């Protein structure tokens, strides 16, 4: 059996019996295609191609089928790629503990109330989304939650600022000091951004980890100057402590570029590109993301730790960083520029 796969596919392993009404309603809520098969091999093979939205192991039936279905669950959970896919197991009452032992993320007895089953199925995906869309080293929300946050900001109509923060010279630091120290720096920046944004904005702030040394945080428009000033100032106070005493004292170290040539590598700095809806009307999160990326690239052309906020009005043509004038307000660590 061949399944046409999309990332929103819901897979169901079943002996051929029909879906409970509550399960059909839940899968309808998810949208996207759903496929059913009686072969655990097909479920495993399809899940290995890409990650489906959810896998339902319907182990209801005779004892032999229950054992076979739960063995399919074990196979899924033993693999590091498919193990992250949320698995909901429907089981005869007596197999409740066996299903958890097989690695199912949520188990529903055959006799469970339909309303409770639906609520617990929804909670399963909320937990899965929360746990999988975070970076393991920083525990900050990832790309999906960042996009959702930007969509919420755009839809609300409230004045806000989206700030794209990126480390300068992080790769050279990682090459010299190793990935363990590099991870420490990433965690340090994550904690710094979280503490500053939360401390100054409370629940009105958001911090996400795009990946690597890239972060995005959102704050109310009125707080952007206070937050960004604090971020770059505290960063410049803390980052020298991540270097050896000798490198910290001279303010640089010698590293090799891709051609193998030695050159001076300064201590890391932080570049923050800021966009707001003060002079622009955004309709989609991607518009905010693209402009924030442009402003981040512009900020990286400036020396030192700096944040740069886009001051262009909507009618002003967008320009490339290496092209014509880019009207922006910039501020470096330690004062205005």
Question: Is-contact 124 88, C-beta < 8 A?
Answer: yes
H or E element, residue 65? helix 63-78
Please state which CATH number belongs to domain 143-336. 3.30.70.270
Model confidence at 330, in pLDDT bands (50, 70, 90)?
A: low
**Of 107, 210, 237, which is closest to residue 150 (Cα–Cα)?**
210
Sequential DSSP letters for 105-146: SEEEETTS-HHHHHHHHHHHHHHHHHHHSB-TTT--B-HHHH
Pairing outcome for strands 54-58 and 87-91: parallel
| Average of per-residue pLDDT values in the chain | 89
Whether the model clears a pTM of 0.85, i.e. scores above it, the answer is: no
Ranges in the chain annotated CATH 3.40.50.2300: 10-132
Ranges in the chain annotated CATH 3.30.70.270: 143-336
Model confidence at 84, in pLDDT bands (50, 70, 90)?
A: confident
Model confidence at 86, in pLDDT bands (50, 70, 90)?
A: very high
* Rounded-to-integer distance, Cα 165 and Cα 297, Å: 10
Classify 10-132 by CATH class.
alpha beta
**pLDDT recorded at residue 325:** 39
């Amino acid at each position: 059996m061949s399944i046409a796969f999309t990332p929103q596919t819901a897979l169901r392993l079943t002996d051929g019996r029909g879906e409970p009404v509550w399960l059909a309603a839940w899968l309808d809520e998810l949208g996207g295609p759903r496929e059913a098969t009686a072969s655990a091999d097909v479920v495993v093979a399809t899940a290995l191609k890409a990650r489906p939205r959810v896998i339902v192991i319907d182990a209801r039936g005779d004892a032999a089928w229950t054992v076979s279905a739960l063995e399919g669950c074990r196979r899924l959970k033993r693999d590091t790629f498919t193990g992250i896919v949320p698995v909901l197991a429907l089981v005869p009452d007596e197999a409740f503990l066996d299903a958890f032992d097989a690695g199912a993320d949520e188990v529903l007895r055959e006799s469970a109330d339909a309303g409770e089953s639906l609520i617990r199925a929804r909670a399963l995906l909320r937990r899965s989304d929360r746990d999988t869309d975070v970076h393991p080293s920083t525990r900050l929300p990832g790309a999906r939650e960042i996009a959702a946050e930007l969509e919420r900001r755009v839809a609300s109509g409230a004045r806000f600022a989206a700030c794209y923060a990126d480390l300068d010279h992080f790769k050279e630091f990682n090459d010299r000091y190793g990935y363990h120290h590099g991870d420490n720096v990433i965690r340090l920046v994550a904690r710094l951004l979280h503490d500053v944004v939360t401390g100054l904005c409370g629940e009105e702030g958001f911090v996400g980890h795009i990946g690597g040394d890239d972060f995005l945080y959102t704050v109310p428009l009125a707080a952007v100057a206070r937050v960004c000033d604090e971020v770059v100032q505290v960063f410049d106070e803390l980052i020298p402590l991540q270097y050896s005493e000798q490198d910290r004292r001279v303010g640089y170290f010698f590293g090799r570029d891709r051609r193998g040539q030695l050159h001076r590598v300064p201590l890391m700095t932080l570049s923050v590109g800021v966009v707001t809806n003060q002079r622009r009307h955004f309709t989609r999160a991607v518009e905010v993301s693209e402009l924030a990326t442009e402003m981040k690239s512009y900020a990286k052309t400036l020396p030192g730790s700096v944040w740069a906020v886009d001051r262009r009005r909507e009618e002003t043509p967008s320009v490339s960083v290496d092209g014509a004038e880019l009207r922006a307000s910039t501020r470096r660590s330690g004062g205005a520029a």
